[in-house]
Amino acid sequence: MIQSMTGYGKSVLQLPSKKITIEIKSLNSKNLDLNVRMPSLYREEELAIRKSIAKKLVRGKVDFSLYLELTGEATSTVINKAVVKNYINQLKDILNEDKGTELLAMAVKMPDALTTEREEIDADEWQQIANTIDNAMQQLSNYRLEEGKALEQDFVLRIKNIDTLLESVIAMDPERIEGVRERLRRGVEELKENVDENRFEQELVFYIEKFDITEEKVRLKNHLDYFIKTLNSSDSNGKKLGFIGQEIGREINTIGSKSNYAPMQKLVVQMKDELEKIKEQLLNVL
Statement to judge: residues 125 and 220 lie in one domain: no
Please state the rounded mean pLDDT for residues 87-105: 71
Statement to judge: residues 177 and 225 lie in one domain: yes
Please state the rounded mean pLDDT for residues 109-126: 73
Residue 2 lies in a domain: no
Residue 111 lies in a domain: yes
Residue 180 lies in a domain: yes
SS3 letters across the chain: CCCECCEEEEEEEECCCEEEEEEEEEECCCCEEEEEECCHHHHHHHHHHHHHHHHHHCCEEEEEEEEEEECCCCCCEEECHHHHHHHHHHHHHHHCCCCHHHHHHHHCCCCCCEEECCCCCCHHHHHHHHHHHHHHHHHHHHHHHHHHHHHHHHHHHHHHHHHHHHHHHHHHHHHHHHHHHHHHHHHHHHCCCCCCHHHHHHHHHHHHHCCCCHHHHHHHHHHHHHHHHHHCCCCCCHHHHHHHHHHHHHHHHHHHHHHCCHHHHHHHHHHHHHHHHHHHHHCCEC
Statement to judge: residues 152 and 278 lie in one domain: yes
Statement to judge: residues 141 and 153 lie in one domain: no
Statement to judge: residues 252 and 130 lie in one domain: no
Residue 133 lies in a domain: yes
Which pLDDT does position 99 carry in this prediction? Answer: 67
Domain that holds residue 86: 77-116
Residue 185 lies in a domain: yes
Statement to judge: residues 97 and 140 lie in one domain: no
User: Would you say residue 230 has pLDDT above 90?
Assistant: yes
Statement to judge: residues 201 and 83 lie in one domain: no
Statement to judge: residues 86 and 170 lie in one domain: no
Of 130, 145, 160, the residue at which a domain comes to its end is 145
Which pLDDT does position 47 carry in this prediction? Answer: 94
Statement to judge: residues 130 and 11 lie in one domain: yes
Residue 99 lies in a domain: yes
Within 10 Å of residue 35's Cβ, how many Cβ atoms? 10
- Tell me how many domains the chain contains: 3
Which pLDDT does position 194 carry in this prediction? Answer: 64
Residue 1 lies in a domain: no
**pTM for the full predicted model:** 0.76
The CATH number assigned to the domain holding 266 equals: 1.20.120
108 or 164, higher pLDDT: 164
Statement to judge: residues 31 and 131 lie in one domain: yes
Statement to judge: residues 180 and 259 lie in one domain: yes
Work out the pLDDT band at 54, boundaries 50, 70, 90: very high
Please state the rounded mean pLDDT for residues 74-103: 70
User: Would you say residue 188 has pLDDT above 70?
Assistant: no
Residues 6+ apart with CB under 8 A from 26: 5, 6, 7, 8, 57, 60, 61, 62, 63, 140, 144
User: Would you say residue 266 has pLDDT above 90?
Assistant: yes
What would the pLDDT profile of 190-210 be if each residue is shown by its tens digit? 555 666 667 666 666 667 778
The CATH number assigned to the domain holding 38 equals: 3.30.230
Statement to judge: residues 20 and 112 lie in one domain: no
Residue 130 lies in a domain: yes
